[in-house]
Amino acid sequence: MAKAQTIFTCQSCGATSTKWSGRCDACGEWNTITEEKPLSQGPGKKSLGNARGRAIPLTDLSSKEAPPPRTASKLDELDRVLGGGLVPASAVLVGGDPGIGKSTLLLQAAAAFANAGLSVVYISGEEASAQVRLRAQRLGLQDAPVKLATETNLRDIMTTLDETRPDLAIVDSIQTMWADNVDSAPGSVSQVRASAHELTTFAKSRGSAVIMVGHVTKEGQLAGPRVVEHMVDTVLYFEGERGHQFRILRSVKNRFGAADEIGVFEMTGAGLSEVKNPSALFLQERSQPAPGSVVFAGIEGTRPVLTEIQALIAPSPHSQPRRSVVGWDGSRLAMILAVLESRCGIPFAGLDVYLNVAGGMRIKEPAADLAVAAALLSAREDASLPPETVVFGEISLSGALRPVGQTENRLKEAQKLGFSTAILPTGGKATATKGMALSQMEDLTSFVGNVFGAG
Ligand code: TYD
Ligand code: MG
């Protein structure tokens, strides 16, 4: 008989190996590998053999089925990220750092869906019922017809859900669930995987929607929800900087809608409130045009969002100057600096570079390249851009500027918010609109020459 083998699982990415090591080969995290019992011990056969199973009926791609009926929560920011509302029998994972506001968001969502006519069960494995009730009171949601329970035993939860058959079950959080058939501690990858599997299967077989909360921690105390991402239909991330009141709900995977859609919320004393016009909010703290500050006209999902990009350049006391980025990709910054240096002859050696996206926004678009370059140059030359100007465009390694998608939308949003000039690459589908001057450039060198003199 084969010996019952233990496996070693990375608590961060879920990779398995047969021996322990200090660093996970798959994701590179340190001290995340722990010993776990494998989920099931099969009979040890190498192949399926000749035994016949059941033949599965095959169907065509064409179907007469109507698109899934969605329920809108009337929290527009949430509905948009879900792809237009909650789909029955879907499994949704909401991930985010501790304390970012996941429980608050889901309690508000629970109340909103309950008020929209769904039967909603909210199961908290983290907080006592009294705590959840207190929070509901604080948010003014105590009268919403939400059924509440505090439990971590998955078997009891599944039995309860099977009996009540709610339209929506919310489980906060997947890391606190404990399945008694799995021989490891709550929060370990096997437990998280088993719990998510049970809940997803429940959603599919019973037609209830399930929303699960997952923590993301660097310490690896609680397993990251990465392993669960494959199982569920929709993965949403709730992001934001702790010091800022803005929170962004971003869909990174959605089988029922567009990925990369965002919903913007503001954390207030009375819970999360929706931000209908994020551009105005992100720009509200912007003062007069200042060196190092540039407004980027970006697109998040289907929506244009204007954000302020700030750069600071200072002589470095260190032999290795600092490159510090908040809200953007550090390696992309290194690339822009290299292009500025080798294509435009503007050196950054011996200078510390700080780059910040104002308001706690995180930009993932390459279209921000030109705005970042503009902020860096503006900070370096101590010269501000012309007032009421937005900038966008991708920079290639050759120093050429590449047009980006949805130019029209970006320009419209900028105009709506009172901007009168746009600096953008040539090409693309830019048409001049009344009251909006377009300044189109071929490459970074002409940008430097036109905007900052000879550089
Ligand atoms: P919470 O939803 O508990 O975060 P998570 O479930 O992601 O860990 O929210 C935590 C923070 O939100 C907490 O620091 C307090 C703040 N908060 C407010 O500012 N206003 C509110 O109305 C509520 C309920 C929370
Ligand atoms: Mg919580």
Q: Out of 94, 173, 241, 267, give the residue to mutate to test ligand 1, the one with the largest number of ligand atoms within 8 Å of its CB.
A: 267
pLDDT attached to residue 221: 44
In this model, does residue 257 exceed pLDDT 90? no
Which has the closest alpha carbon to 93: 292, 219, 199, 234? 234
| Cβ neighbour number for residue 39 with a 10 Å cutoff | 15
Percent of the chain with pLDDT over 70: 94
pLDDT attached to residue 455: 45
pLDDT attached to residue 42: 53
pLDDT attached to residue 2: 54
Atom of ligand 1 nearest to the CA of 106: 2
pLDDT confidence of 187, banded at 50, 70, 90? confident
Ligand 2 being an ion, which residues bring their Cβ within 5 A of it?
A: 103
Pocket of ligand 1 (CB under 6 A): 96, 98-104, 135, 138-139, 267, 269-271
Cβ-contact 310, 358 below 8 angstroms:
yes
Q: Is-above-0.85 flag for pTM?
A: no
pLDDT attached to residue 9: 83
Among 65-69, 176-180, 188-192, where is mean pLDDT lowest?
Answer: 65-69
* Residue minimizing CA distance to atom 10 of ligand 1: 99
Q: Out of 102, 104, 272, give the residue to mutate to test ligand 1, the one with the largest number of ligand atoms within 8 Å of its CB.
A: 104
pLDDT attached to residue 330: 93
- Cis status, amide bond into 316, omega within 30 of 0: no
In this model, does residue 225 exceed pLDDT 60? no
In this model, does residue 454 exceed pLDDT 60? no
Ligand closest to the CA atom of residue 175 = 2
User: Which burial class, exposed, middle or buried, applies to 308 when counting CB atoms under 10 A from its CB (0-12, 13-18, 19+)?
Assistant: buried
pLDDT confidence of 260, banded at 50, 70, 90? confident
- Could you tell me which residue, 2 or 106, shows the higher pLDDT? 106
* Residue minimizing CA distance to atom 21 of ligand 1: 271
Average pLDDT for 129-157: 94
Average pLDDT for 197-212: 94
Percent of the chain with pLDDT over 90: 55
Average pLDDT for 389-408: 93
pLDDT attached to residue 372: 96
d(CA 372, CA 362): 13
Mean model confidence pLDDT for the chain: 87
Average pLDDT for 139-144: 93
d(CA 324, CA 305): 23
Instruction: Please tell me the distance between residue 135's alpha carbon and the centre of ligand 1 in angstroms.
Output: 9
Query: Which residues sit opposite 239 in a β-bridge?
Result: 248
Atom of ligand 1 nearest to the CA of 271: 22
In this model, does residue 376 exceed pLDDT 60? yes
Average pLDDT for 297-325: 91
The CATH class, in words, for 76-276 is: alpha beta
Looking at residue 1, its amino acid is: M
Instruction: Please tell me the distance between residue 247's alpha carbon and the centre of ligand 2 in angstroms.
Output: 15
Average pLDDT for 187-209: 91
Q: What CATH code would you report for 280-452?
A: 3.30.230.10
Which has the closest alpha carbon to 391: 351, 423, 349? 423
Atom of ligand 1 nearest to the CA of 102: 7
Instruction: Please tell me the distance between residue 317's alpha carbon and the centre of ligand 2 in angstroms.
Output: 43
d(CA 237, CA 226): 12
Q: How far is CA 356 from the centre of its chain?
A: 18
Domain residue extents for the chain: 1-50, 76-276, 280-452
Instruction: Please tell me the distance between residue 124's alpha carbon and the centre of ligand 2 in angstroms.
Output: 9
Instruction: Please tell me the distance between residue 241's alpha carbon and the centre of ligand 1 in angstroms.
Output: 13
Average pLDDT for 290-295: 91
Write out pLDDT tens, residues 412-437.
Answer: 889 988 899 999 999 877 776 777 89
Write out pLDDT tens, residues 357-366.
Answer: 988 788 989 9
Instruction: Please tell me the distance between residue 101's alpha carbon and the centre of ligand 2 in angstroms.
Output: 7
Among 27-31, 101-105, 145-149, where is mean pLDDT lowest?
Answer: 27-31
Which has the closest alpha carbon to 196: 220, 224, 164? 224
Beta strands in 316-449 (DSSP E): 323-326, 351-357, 389-391, 394-395, 401-402, 421-425, 437-441
Average pLDDT for 282-297: 83
